[in-house]
Amino acid sequence: MALPSPIAWAPSGAVRILDQTLLPDQERYVDLSSVELVAEAICSLRVRGAPLIGIAAAMGVAMGAARESGAPAMGRGLERIRTMCARLGATRPTAVNLHSALARMERRAERAVGAGEDLREALLAEANAIWDEDRAMCARIGAVGADLLPDGALVLTHCNAGALATGGIGTALAPVYTLHDAGRKMAVIVDETRPLLQGSRLTAWELARAGVPYTLIADSMAASRLRRGDVTCVIVGADRIAANGDVANKVGTYGLALAARAHGVPFYVAAPTTTIDPATARGADIPIEERGAEEVAGWQGHSTAPAGVEVWNPAFDVTPAELVTAIVTDRGVVPPREIARAMD
Ligand code: MRU
């Protein structure tokens, strides 16, 4: 299966990313040679998806440490690592993976300094471990989720929670790829995902590359399609799952969950345990990123609304736990209300 690799180490030690803002027209890799460039790439969604921005940020910290001049193992080194983590953590608020990966890098730096270890080596190993663990969690989600899908399943998904969003085969798309790889028949309905079109630009692109049959729809068509009765289930990813099972994911997910409930279609959220945030009690406590007006009022520099139009552009929404049939994690299928226990 030809899945894309959205991140790599460049031979120079820079963080190499597939620039997702250019897809599907151009498949261009860019080398990010400073923490500031990694931060810009996360803000601008060149690199995106909850698990992947955690991996990219961790790699950014490891690269930043490696590029520090002087003796990074000293107290000053730790201070610099904390500054890098703060910069990268300020890029996007919603995906908890970003913040937990950075907290993990900071803790590793503290331990390394305390134990007199080589800070650069310790941080490089930690970033690679975060990446490797995500790859393994995606594979587990694929195996766990595949058991939920009958032969010939038709899966509706929103945004991109595939290989482009993770260090492995994705989360929502992991069961699809697992079954496809095993030669089972199945197909996907892809929500276009306004305003930044992660569905049509990214999910459709990676499904086509993998040879998985799919149909693209505009977001406004999802409810009608669910009413038709041929959709087996909805599977989406998540940016943060609160302790009570409420789920933050790409804006539009909540409406899809309501429509799925109205038509009796199972609504699954697929996410690694790193997306569960036991410290956030309820969905209402999840910080929701608001992005610029130009994303809604224009496309690639062209206006699609009158100049100066007032816009509301939350990048994510919260789906209450009661609309979620189950959460598919690397540790099994969990009822949303029991998600905090999946962390034990
Ligand atoms: O703004 P994006 O493109 O980073 O949003 C991505 C999503 O909402 C994904 O569904 C989520 O991060 C899960 S990715 C495995």
48 Cα to the center of ligand 1, angstroms: 7
CA of 92 to the centre of ligand 1 (A): 11
> For a substitution probing ligand 1, which of 191, 249, 254, 313 has the most ligand atoms within 8 Å of its CB?
249
Whether residue 106 contacts residue 85, with contact meaning beta carbons closer than 8 Å, is answered with yes
- pLDDT tens, N- to C-terminus, the chain (344 residues): 899 999 999 999 999 999 999 999 999 999 999 999 999 999 999 999 999 999 999 999 999 999 986 554 456 789 999 999 999 999 999 999 999 999 999 999 999 999 999 999 999 999 999 999 999 999 999 999 999 999 999 999 999 999 999 999 999 999 999 999 999 999 999 999 999 999 999 999 999 999 999 999 999 999 999 999 999 999 999 999 999 999 999 999 999 999 999 999 999 999 999 999 999 999 999 999 999 999 999 998 999 999 999 999 999 999 999 999 999 999 999 999 999 888 77
Residue 109 CA, ligand 1 centroid: distance in Å = 28
Structure confidence at residue 306 (pLDDT):
97
> What pLDDT score was predicted for residue 73?
46
Distance 198 CA to ligand 1 centre (A): 9
Amino acid identity at 29: Y
Substitution site in 160, 173, 219, 295 for ligand 1 pocket (most atoms within 8 Å of beta carbon)? 160
Cα angle value 334/271/205 (rounded, 5°): 140
What the block records as the tokens of 119 is 């800070």
Q: Containing H/E element for 191?
A: strand 186-191
Given the CA of residue 196, which atom of ligand 1 is nearest to it? 3
How far is it, in rounded angstroms, from Cα 137 to Cα 115?
A: 30
Write the DSSP assignment of 176-236 as a string of letters. HHHHHHTT--EEEEEE--TTTTIIIIIIHHHHHHHT--EEEE-GGGHHHHHHHT---EEEE
239 carries an active-site annotation: yes
The pLDDT score that the predictor gives to residue 207 is 98
C-alpha distances (whole Å) from 275 to each of 130, 267, 342 are 13, 18, 11
CB 186 within 8 A of CB 149: yes
Distances (CA, A) of 35 to 67, 90, 114, 150, 225: 10, 12, 24, 45, 44
Q: Is 276 exposed, middle or buried (0-12, 13-18, 19+ CB in 10 A)?
A: buried
Instruction: Give the C-alpha separation, 4 to 309, whole Å.
Output: 37
Query: Angle, to 10 degrees, between the axis of helix 35-43 and the axis of helix 50-67?
Result: 160
Give the DSSP H or E segment for 318: strand 316-319
Ligand 1 centroid–CA 164 distance in Å is 10
Catalytic hit among 134, 191, 239, 317: 239
**Whose alpha carbon is nearest atom 15 of ligand 1?**
161
What is the CB < 6 Å shell around ligand 1? 45, 48-51, 95, 159, 161, 165-166, 171, 198, 237-239, 249-250, 315
**AA letter at 305:** A
Give the chain's largest Cα–Cα span.
65
Contact 316, 241 (CB under 8 A): no
Q: What are phi and psi of 74, to 5 degrees?
A: -85, 170
3-state secondary structure of 323: helix
pTM: 0.97
Concatenating the DSSP letter of every residue in 153-176 gives EEEEE-S--SGGGSSSS-STTHHH
Q: How would you classify the pairing of strands 326-329 and 267-270? A: parallel
Q: Give the Cβ contact number of residue 217 at 10 Å.
A: 17
Q: Whose CA is nearest to atom 10 of ligand 1?
A: 237
Ligand 1 binding pocket mutation candidate from 53, 140, 159, 273 (most atoms within 8 A of CB): 159
Pairing label, strands 233-236, 153-157: parallel
> What H or E segment, with its residue span, contains residue 141?
helix 119-146
Please tell me the distance between residue 316's alpha carbon and the centre of ligand 1 in angstroms.
Answer: 9
